[in-house]
């Protein structure tokens, strides 16, 4: 296998963890991992550190890392937390009213979503574009809440890639179902914007809480699939 | 003024900040503060560090501290965040159902509250007892949610004493009004327990969100009062 | 017993039903009832018709009435319905913003409540005054919602005196507890007005939903008490 | 034009009102209407009575009917009321838990929806089938709430065809957009069932409230379209 650059190393290792290729509890050391991938130790060291930050690896006290015992409950728990915090942000944004700049950014997100879903299927580029658009959408609402305590509270739960908006798990093998899942999320974006523009705080809050559920991936499905991919924000790959 | 021990120093300095005696932006240095209080430098140094953790002082890059520009919006923002997170905890606890141990602890909190409010007024001891009971009440609900991501998300907002359940601002000069404010909060505890026991998740969530508001203190009132006191958990004084 | 006027007859009969003096399923006929009370048939006939409208009696197909099998579930069910409908009204009122006239009426309600609860106990007049004030409070919010469909939906559930705001069950024998119950409801009025003035729709909705619960009377307690009274709006006695 | 049977007459007249062909305020009399349609007076009389019940015509005091001034606000108001009442039903159903029979009926609704949306477009039969399935879905949830006061409260708002689940406005000319609108509603059904099965009352309530919005039709769009059709439950045509 030809592996180039540290991004590729991180991506390969992350998929091995999420897909169960590396079993929970398994110990990983730099040298054998680097040899198995045919790369030098440096990108592996960087990847391990990043995956520990994401909550997928646990650093062992002396040396090396261990694959974390992730389960559906952890992910659900983080997603619920994200839901109520983003719900609060949307409620406050609706009550305060959106600035024109924020209105324009959200309208642009909806427009971009329309383009992404226009031809009835999602290419690799479409999914990457969705991740970027989605991240902008959520950031604008956080910003529009004018409550910095929300972002602070989100921070500790940002690391699980399946509970964060900065990453998305997508299974290209099951593309029809995945298309519908994301189209549904995009239609929720429309409803959120409608609620924000009409100053319906309770409705905006309820929608954002539910929207977090919509993104929720069945962890078992991910683990059992050999084709699952994790898409991340360009700047964070 | 006779000042004994580090707890007294922290308490005096905190009240000077909250009451506006120390103006926002004012710089504080160890030696003059220690001299003004007639104590050694050590308890002052400890107090400064603690007050910085509470969000009342900002550490300056080179040396010394500065009184933070706190405002009502910061406090409201933190209280709203606490509200939705504790609301989530209560909802999950109601949906899962309480263990017998948690039921007993909450019943004990209600019973203790009844005693605290029984004779129509609050002594200093009553308020301290309320803070301990209240903290237990909120901790039990967090625990009963079985979602550790909630406690993690609460952490970054725990430092403002007016937005945390580990401390309470109370004005003994206005004791009739303060009695009613806390009695109302105690009656909300009853409603929360009723909702938890009857597995009414939506109701439990709404009550805990609103309960955070009930504890909300008008910051202006605090600043204008010379009699305000901050009560803290015994272990954290 | 000296009974004067049709209001007294209705009131006596209603209390006999609520207190279980007349058992569920018991048949009531005009002549024996009139004789037992020492009144003519006309006020009894009027009272029966009114109590049937309230949902306490069922008209029998041929002649006479039967005491209805009321239970806690029926009352809870109606109270839940009232809660979500009044919650909706409060949310819409908050989102639209209150007119100055509505603001003034609500402020007057709060002021009147303060007077009612000022001296730490409730006289008979206080309770009657509370019923009138409370009814105004709820009517203003309905009106301020500008959604006539809400009032239409409330109509079918207006008849149970324990689920309506046009009547209140109060037990003078247990006056300390009843004082606290209504003081709590009055403090909720304050929170509702705060939410309305600050355009916090979600909060206003949650408060009104919970407020319906606060008024909820344990039906068993009513039935077991010999001292319970039903207070009604002056115009509807 | 060949018109057969009273159903056809009702349907034609309803579409003329909704599409603005008959202007708001216009008076309608039996004889000229019957002549214009080439039918006898009887089906016209029946249709007028039915359309008055639906809230589209107002009966004039002496004779004849008048086209009602319907507006978006009336429809929104009714839809909001339906939302909170069905939301309450879903919350109670989730808290109580579904019977096996109700679970089976809801699963059947989801399955039928999958079939309806399977081939990417909606025929006339599909839409009619959707109306029947949708009505079953909503009825099951009402029933599962075990709170008859909810159905009673829904009654007064059942008459506007655009605010009721017993009818649906659909525009075959804009079929791609309409397909997405109803697919979104069908995906919400999935989320509602997920919430009910997992006993998530707050989530079920929020979803049903929002679901009412999803069905909301822009009245202006309906009025401006010449192709709009109203589909009704078979038994009520």
Q: Does C210 contact B209 at a Cβ distance shorter than 8 Å?
A: no
Question: Is the model's pLDDT at B54 over the cut of 90?
Answer: no
Shared domain check, A9 and A86? no
The mean per-residue pLDDT over the stretch A192-218 comes to 91
Q: Which residue has the higher pLDDT, C219 or B106?
A: B106
3-state secondary structure of D179: helix
Per the prediction, chain D carries an average pLDDT of 87
| Local confidence band at C201 (pLDDT 50, 70, 90 cut-offs) | very high
pLDDT at B144: 97
Sign of dihedral through CA atoms A152, A154, A156, A158?
Answer: negative
The mean per-residue pLDDT over the stretch D49-61 comes to 84
Shared domain check, B124 and B21? no
Count the residues in chain D.
237
Q: Does B202 contact D199 at a Cβ distance shorter than 8 Å?
A: no
Q: Which of C90, C188, C195, C210 should one mutate to test binding to chain B, selecting the residue with the greatest count of B CBs within 10 A?
A: C210
The Cα of A147 is separated from the nearest Cα of chain B by a number of Å equal to 6
Chains that touch C (3 or more CB pairs under 8 A): A, B, D
| Any domain includes C211 | yes
Question: Is the model's pLDDT at D190 over the cut of 90?
Answer: yes
Tokens for C82, please give them. Answer: 């009232």
Ramachandran region of residue B120, left (φ > 0), alpha (ψ -120 to 50) or beta?
left
The mean per-residue pLDDT over the stretch A40-45 comes to 92
Q: How far apart are CA B200 and CA C82, in angstroms?
A: 17
Q: How far apart are CA A90 and CA A140, in angstroms?
A: 10
**CATH code assigned at A120:** 1.20.120.530
pLDDT digits (tens, 9 = 90+) for C122-169: 999 999 999 999 999 999 999 999 999 999 999 887 767 667 777 787
Full domain range(s) for residue B108: 72-236
- Kindly write down the DSSP assignment for every residue of B44-109, as one continuous string: HHHHHHHHHHTTSEEE-SSSSEEE----HHHHHHHHHHHHHHHHHHHHHHHHH---HHHHHHHHHH
| Local confidence band at A73 (pLDDT 50, 70, 90 cut-offs) | confident
Average the pLDDT over each of A53-57, C229-233, D26-30 and give the range with the smallest value: C229-233
Q: Which of A201, A203, A207, A208 should one mutate to test binding to chain C, selecting the residue with the greatest count of C CBs within 10 A?
A: A201
pLDDT at C1: 46
Shared domain check, A186 and A211? yes
| Any domain includes C105 | yes
* Predicted ipTM beyond 0.85: no
Query: If you compute the radius of gyration of chain C from its CA atoms, what whole number of angstroms results?
Result: 19
Question: Is the model's pLDDT at D155 over the cut of 70?
Answer: yes
Of B47, B67, B87, the one marking the end of a domain is B67
**CATH code assigned at C40:** 1.10.10.10
Q: Does B200 touch chain D (CB under 8 A)?
A: yes
Considering only CB atoms, C205 lies closest to which of A95, A199, A202, namely A202
- Kindly write down the DSSP assignment for every residue of D31-91, as one continuous string: HHHHHHHT--HHHHHHHHHHHHHTTSEEE-SSSSEEE----HHHHHHHHHHHHHHHHHHHH
Q: Does D153 contact C157 at a Cβ distance shorter than 8 Å?
A: yes
3-state secondary structure of D187: helix
| Local confidence band at D222 (pLDDT 50, 70, 90 cut-offs) | low
CB atoms within 10 A of CB C118: 9
Chain A residues touching residue B143 (CB < 8 angstroms): none
Tokens for C135, please give them. Answer: 């009814």
| Local confidence band at A7 (pLDDT 50, 70, 90 cut-offs) | low
Chain C residues touching residue D156 (CB < 8 angstroms): 149, 152-153, 155-156
Q: Does B191 contact C214 at a Cβ distance shorter than 8 Å?
A: yes
| Local confidence band at A61 (pLDDT 50, 70, 90 cut-offs) | confident
**Cβ pairs bridging A and C (under 8 Å):** 17
| Local confidence band at B224 (pLDDT 50, 70, 90 cut-offs) | low
The mean per-residue pLDDT over the stretch B111-118 comes to 96
Considering only CB atoms, A210 lies closest to which of D120, D180, D207, namely D207
Considering only CB atoms, B85 lies closest to which of A74, A78, A153, namely A153
Sign of dihedral through CA atoms D20, D24, D25, D29?
Answer: positive
Question: Is the model's pLDDT at B237 over the cut of 50?
Answer: no
3-state secondary structure C110-179: HHHHHHHHCCCCCCHHHHHHHHHHHHHHHHHHHHHCCCHHHHHHHHHHCCCCCCCCCEEEECHHHHHHHH
Cβ atoms of C73 and C36 closer than 8 Å: no
Q: Judging by beta carbons within 10 Å of its beta carbon (0-12, 13-18, 19+), is residue C191 exposed, middle or buried? A: buried
| Any domain includes C237 | no
Q: Does C210 contact B207 at a Cβ distance shorter than 8 Å?
A: yes
Tokens for D222, please give them. Answer: 């309906």
Question: Is the model's pLDDT at B85 over the cut of 80?
Answer: yes
The Cα of D122 is separated from the nearest Cα of chain A by a number of Å equal to 16
Of C15, C32, C67, the one marking the end of a domain is C67
> For B80, which residue in chain A has the nearest alpha carbon?
A88
The Cα of A40 is separated from the nearest Cα of chain B by a number of Å equal to 36
Closest by CA to B187, choosing from C211, C204, C80, is: C211
pLDDT digits (tens, 9 = 90+) for D69-89: 877 788 889 999 999 999 999
| Beta-ladder partners of A57 | A67
| Beta-ladder partners of D168 | D231
Closest by CA to D55, choosing from D6, D14, D2, is: D14
Sign of dihedral through CA atoms D92, D95, D100, D103?
Answer: positive
Q: Judging by beta carbons within 10 Å of its beta carbon (0-12, 13-18, 19+), is residue C152 exposed, middle or buried? A: middle
Q: Which residue has the higher pLDDT, A184 or C52?
A: A184
Tokens for C198, please give them. Answer: 């600050």
Average the pLDDT over each of A61-70, A84-93, A105-114 and give the range with the smallest value: A61-70
pLDDT at C5: 62
Measured in degrees and rounded to the nearest 5, phi and psi for residue C167 equal: -145, 160
Query: Any long-range contacts for C42-46 (C-beta under 8 Å, 24+ apart)?
Result: C42/C6, C43/C5, C43/C6, C43/C9, C43/C10, C44/C9, C44/C13, C46/C6, C46/C9, C46/C10
Chain D residues touching residue A187 (CB < 8 angstroms): 180, 184
- Percent of chain B surpassing pLDDT 90: 54
pLDDT at C236: 52
pLDDT digits (tens, 9 = 90+) for D163-175: 777 778 788 888 8
Q: Which of C80, C113, C187 should one mutate to test binding to chain B, selecting the residue with the greatest count of B CBs within 10 A?
A: C187
Shared domain check, B97 and B174? yes
Range among B63-77, D184-198, D203-217 rated most confident: D184-198
Q: Does A110 touch chain D (CB under 8 A)?
A: no
- Kindly write down the DSSP assignment for every residue of chain B, as one continuous string: ----HHHHHHHHHHHHHHTTSSPTT-EE-HHHHHHHHT--HHHHHHHHHHHHHTTSEEE-SSSSEEE----HHHHHHHHHHHHHHHHHHHHHHHHH---HHHHHHHHHHHHHHHHHHTTSS--HHHHHHHHHHHHHHHHHHHHHTT-HHHHHHHGGG---TTT-TTEEEE-GGGHHHHHHHHHHHHHHHHHHHHHHHTT-HHHHHHHHHHHHHHT---HHHHHH-SS-EEEE-GGG-
Sign of dihedral through CA atoms B199, B200, B206, B210?
Answer: negative
> For B80, which residue in chain C has the nearest alpha carbon?
C203
Considering only CB atoms, B191 lies closest to which of C187, C203, C213, namely C213
Q: Which residue has the higher pLDDT, A211 or A73?
A: A211
| Local confidence band at D4 (pLDDT 50, 70, 90 cut-offs) | low
The mean per-residue pLDDT over the stretch D214-222 comes to 66
Shared domain check, B107 and B57? no
pLDDT at A6: 61
Of B49, B67, B85, the one marking the end of a domain is B67
Q: How far apart are CA C190 and CA C211, in angstroms?
A: 11
| Local confidence band at B4 (pLDDT 50, 70, 90 cut-offs) | low
| Local confidence band at C173 (pLDDT 50, 70, 90 cut-offs) | confident
Measured in degrees and rounded to the nearest 5, phi and psi for residue B57 equal: -120, 150
List helix spans (H) across chain A: 5-18, 30-37, 41-53, 72-96, 100-117, 124-144, 148-154, 175-197, 201-215, 219-224
Q: Does C95 contact A200 at a Cβ distance shorter than 8 Å?
A: yes
Cβ atoms of C185 and C214 closer than 8 Å: yes
The mean per-residue pLDDT over the stretch C157-186 comes to 82
Per the prediction, chain A carries an average pLDDT of 87
pLDDT at C104: 98
- Contacts of residue B71, Cβ cutoff 8 Å, sequence gap at least 6: B219
| Local confidence band at A114 (pLDDT 50, 70, 90 cut-offs) | very high
Q: How far apart are CA A181 and CA C222, in angstroms?
A: 52
| Local confidence band at A214 (pLDDT 50, 70, 90 cut-offs) | confident
Question: Is the model's pLDDT at D159 over the cut of 70?
Answer: no
pLDDT at B226: 63
Burial code (b: 16+ CB inside 10 Å, e: under 16) for B200-231 equals: bbbbbbbbbbbbbbbbbbebeebbebeebbbb
Q: How far apart are CA C51 and CA C66, in angstroms?
A: 11
| Any domain includes C33 | yes
Considering only CB atoms, C203 lies closest to which of B191, B203, B210, namely B210
Considering only CB atoms, A149 lies closest to which of B78, B92, B147, namely B78
Q: Does B194 touch chain D (CB under 8 A)?
A: no
Q: How does strand C27-28 pair with strand A229-232? A: unpaired
pLDDT at C101: 97
Shared domain check, C134 and C212? yes
Q: Does D85 contact C80 at a Cβ distance shorter than 8 Å?
A: no
Shared domain check, A202 and A110? yes
Per the prediction, chain C carries an average pLDDT of 87
pLDDT at A1: 46
Q: How far apart are CA B220 and CA B72, in angstroms?
A: 8
Give the CA count within 13 Å in the CB-facing half-sphere of A216: 23
Q: Does C205 touch chain A (CB under 8 A)?
A: yes
Q: Does A76 touch chain D (CB under 8 A)?
A: no
Shared domain check, B194 and B96? yes
Sign of dihedral through CA atoms B205, B206, B211, B217?
Answer: positive
> For B87, which residue in chain D has the nearest alpha carbon?
D202
Q: How far apart are CA C117 and CA B202, in angstroms?
A: 31
Cβ atoms of B14 and B51 closer than 8 Å: yes
Q: To which residue do tokens 């209105």 refer?
A: A103
Q: How far apart are CA B184 and CA C188, in angstroms?
A: 9
The mean per-residue pLDDT over the stretch B119-135 comes to 92
Q: How many domains does chain C have?
A: 2
pLDDT at C97: 97
Q: Does D147 contact C81 at a Cβ distance shorter than 8 Å?
A: yes
How far is the first Cα of chain C from the last one, in angstroms, to the nearest whole number? Answer: 20
Average the pLDDT over each of B189-193, C67-71, D118-122 and give the range with the smallest value: C67-71
Chains that touch A (3 or more CB pairs under 8 A): B, C, D
Cβ atoms of A160 and A102 closer than 8 Å: no
Question: Is the model's pLDDT at A115 over the cut of 50?
Answer: yes
Shared domain check, C212 and C105? yes
Q: How far apart are CA D194 and CA D90, in angstroms?
A: 12
Shared domain check, A118 and A9? no
Query: If you compute the radius of gyration of chain A from its CA atoms, what whole number of angstroms results?
Result: 19
> For C163, which residue in chain D has the nearest alpha carbon?
D149
pLDDT digits (tens, 9 = 90+) for A121-180: 999 999 999 999 999 999 999 999 999 999 999 988 776 766 777 778 788 888 888 899
Q: How far apart are CA C186 and CA C205, in angstroms?
A: 16
Shared domain check, C191 and C174? yes
Q: Which of A118, A210, A214 should one mutate to test binding to chain D, selecting the residue with the greatest count of D CBs within 10 A?
A: A210
Shared domain check, B166 and B97? yes
pLDDT at B1: 46
Cβ atoms of A71 and A163 closer than 8 Å: no
Q: How far apart are CA C233 and CA C215, in angstroms?
A: 16
Question: Is the model's pLDDT at C225 over the cut of 70?
Answer: no
């Amino acid at each position: 296998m030809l592996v180039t650059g540290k991004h590729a190393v991180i991506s390969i290792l992350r998929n091995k963890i999420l897909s169960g290729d590396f079993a929970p509890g398994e110990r990983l050391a730099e040298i054998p991992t680097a040899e198995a991938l045919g790369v030098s130790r440096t990108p592996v060291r960087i990847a391990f550190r990043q995956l520990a930050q994401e909550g997928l690896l646990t650093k062992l006290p002396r040396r090396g890392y261990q694959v974390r015992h992730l389960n559906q409950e952890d992910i659900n728990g983080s997603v619920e937390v994200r839901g109520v915090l983003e719900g609060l942000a949307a409620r406050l944004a609706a009550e305060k009213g959106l600035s024109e700049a924020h209105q324009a950014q959200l309208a642009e997100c909806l427009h971009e979503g329309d383009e992404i879903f226009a031809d009835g299927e999602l290419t690799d580029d479409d999914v990457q574009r969705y991740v970027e658009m989605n991240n902008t959408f959520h950031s604008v609402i956080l910003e529009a809440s004018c409550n910095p305590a929300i972002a602070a509270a989100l921070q500790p739960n940002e690391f699980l890639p399946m509970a964060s908006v900065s990453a998305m798990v997508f299974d290209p093998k099951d593309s029809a179902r995945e298309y519908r899942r994301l189209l549904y999320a995009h239609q929720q974006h429309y409803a959120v914007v409608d609620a924000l523009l009409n100053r319906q705080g309770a409705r905006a809050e309820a929608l954002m809480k539910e929207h977090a559920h919509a993104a929720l991936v069945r962890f078992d499905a991910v683990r059992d699939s050999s084709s699952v991919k994790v898409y991340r924000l360009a700047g964070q790959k």
